[in-house]
Structure 1
């Protein structure tokens, strides 16, 4: 099959003029499945809980509806307007419904359309650069179903796809009921060459059986995917083989339910209609962008705090674990540039190291990759350059234990709560 995502999206009648992409399966790295999502020191920049009367359309101040068919992917649906296939259920959900019908004699690339569905986006209404982007959803089931929650670079109208970049937070194809995919696409790694991984539920559970939270933690030079707080992949510029990282600019959000196409295949006799993508909430949160402020504690092993030894602001001062005491040495700001700051300086991986056991220290903020951190919804604090986690040495909760970077394992000495 050629280019499953490149063949997926068409130019639809909307502000964005969006094209497409898709998902490739890769290896995954598990983290703590019980971790709660979202760092505490974050501001909500976009949220829709889909409250409103049953049958009403989505909030037009947040979403626009795209209409039309999609020849590029050989999808079978016609995306309709208004509340015909995307409506609130009166119980705090958006329901995107795919039906086997054609009430208005819609014409598709293959002739008279056989199915209707809906697709909506935030282009012209909301964009974000970095942050924790999540949707809590229950996906449909059945051969030929193709639900997705994803993002496109807001400059797509100027530079086209794939130069705009695409971040697929979640895609599912109906013949894989237990698996979802997360992928990035950009110039030289688009369509079937997209870079991503799959995540599967244990014991053959189906995603259609319950609500799940699909998220990315997006920071300068890193994107981390999770399902229900469990991290399953992290991507950085090092994964691109020298190709261009196009994920340091504004992106907008998209929700859709496609029917058929090259990747999922068409519905068959086993597929029941209607099918529904039920969305409980879409939310984007982002860390403090000021680079200053009073900061907040970062708590970890045994409830103790990340601490600058002796409250000493000198370059090279050790960063350690210590009883939480509310002093400035324990007040950290999560900045939009990916740094963690205290006492006017940055959390720094000593000597630009990437090996297990490399210590961390306080240092003048330089903008270097050894000072970039991703605070994930699974409570990891990750240095993307090393692809390693902030770690309490030897799992020792004693005051003064040095902090270091170490291969992410999901253990308690690598779990942190900001705020």
Structure 2
């Protein structure tokens, strides 16, 4: 290759590099736009694919434990993103009989409306994979919570639950007709002032109408192993690493 040809090739390579950087920047901008709230027919819609860590919208619990029935410590590095664009929450063991888990939550709070997640929970006795809204004393509010929980001991079922000012006892276990740990499905709840209706793949599965929570909360996802709650979760056997996967999250206000 002569000097002219080499120079021309170097110039072409520089152009390709510029185009590549421009394309990456454009894609990143489009991803950011997907997470912005938009208004349609009076409703606020928040939708975000779980392809990367958007620190403007989400945060990772790190360096502490909820205690009581939670037998692990939240670690930010246990929330990662897969090459095919999924949020992966991990339950791991850094040393014998010690466990790290993961929690991912919104920086904003949301109230009445439709909450949806496309996810695949972990399968193993003694653990929980979840999607829920929460607010409580650490936020200076009453404890209000609405749950979609997968008990790893039997992922052919899903548990729905809610707390109003700390009062729970509203568990409802639903047979799915499939193993949730084997493929992605969409789970949702529609929270209204007088009711909560839970859905699986767009089909209503359960409705609650008594003592409905009213305090806006954060949108949250986590995976953790239990202790002292064997009658509920089964006895955790120490198996790890275990993973729950989340494809996308959407919230549509009233």
What TM-score do the two structures reach when normalised by structure 2? 0.75
> Are residue 79 (structure 1) and residue 58 (structure 2) matched?
no
The answer to whether the 8 Å contact 1:77/1:116 transfers is: yes
Q: Which runs of 5+ in 1 are unaligned?
A: 1-39, 53-57, 103-111, 287-335, 337-419
Partner of 1:234, secondary structure, is strand
* Deviation readout 1:70-93 (Å, 9 max, x if unpaired): 3211x2222112xx2101113121
Name the residue aligned to 1:66.
61
| Structure 1 residue 155 displacement after superposition | 6.9
The answer to whether the 8 Å contact 2:113/2:252 transfers is: yes
Q: d(CA) in 2 for partners of 1:120 and 1:176?
A: 23
Which aligned pairs between 1:11-410 and structure 2 lie closer than 5 A? 43=43, 45-52=45-52, 58-67=53-62, 68-73=64-69, 75-81=70-76, 84-102=77-95, 114-122=98-106, 125-153=107-135, 157-159=139-141, 163-168=142-147, 170-187=148-165, 189-190=167-168, 194-202=169-177, 205-236=178-209, 239-240=210-211, 245-247=212-214, 249-261=215-227, 262=229, 263-268=232-237, 272-286=239-253, 336=254
- Which of the two has greater helix per residue? 2
The answer to whether the 8 Å contact 2:144/2:166 transfers is: no
* Deviation readout 1:269-318 (Å, 9 max, x if unpaired): xx6421111000011012xxxxxxxxxxxxxxxxxxxxxxxxxxxxxxxx
Structure with bigger gyration radius = 1
Q: d(CA) in 2 for partners of 1:156 and 1:71?
A: 14
Q: d(CA) in 1 for partners of 2:166 and 2:103?
A: 27
| Count of aligned pairs | 211
Q: d(CA) in 2 for partners of 1:178 and 1:42?
A: 37
* Deviation readout 1:114-159 (Å, 9 max, x if unpaired): 221211211xx22111111011001110112211111113775324
Q: Which runs of 5+ in 2 are unaligned?
A: 1-39
Instruction: Label 1:153 to 1:114 Cα distance change in 2 as closer, same or farther (>3 A).
Output: closer
The answer to whether the 8 Å contact 1:259/1:266 transfers is: no
Q: d(CA) in 2 for partners of 1:227 and 1:42?
A: 26
- Which of the two has greater strand per residue? 2
The answer to whether the 8 Å contact 2:126/2:225 transfers is: yes
Instruction: Label 1:80 to 1:218 Cα distance change in 2 as closer, same or farther (>3 A).
Output: same
| Structure 1 residue 252 displacement after superposition | 1.1
Q: CA RMSD in A?
A: 2.3
Higher relative contact order by CA 8 Å / sep ≥ 6: 1 or 2? 2
Instruction: Label 1:273 to 1:186 Cα distance change in 2 as closer, same or farther (>3 A).
Output: same
Q: d(CA) in 2 for partners of 1:95 and 1:114?
A: 20
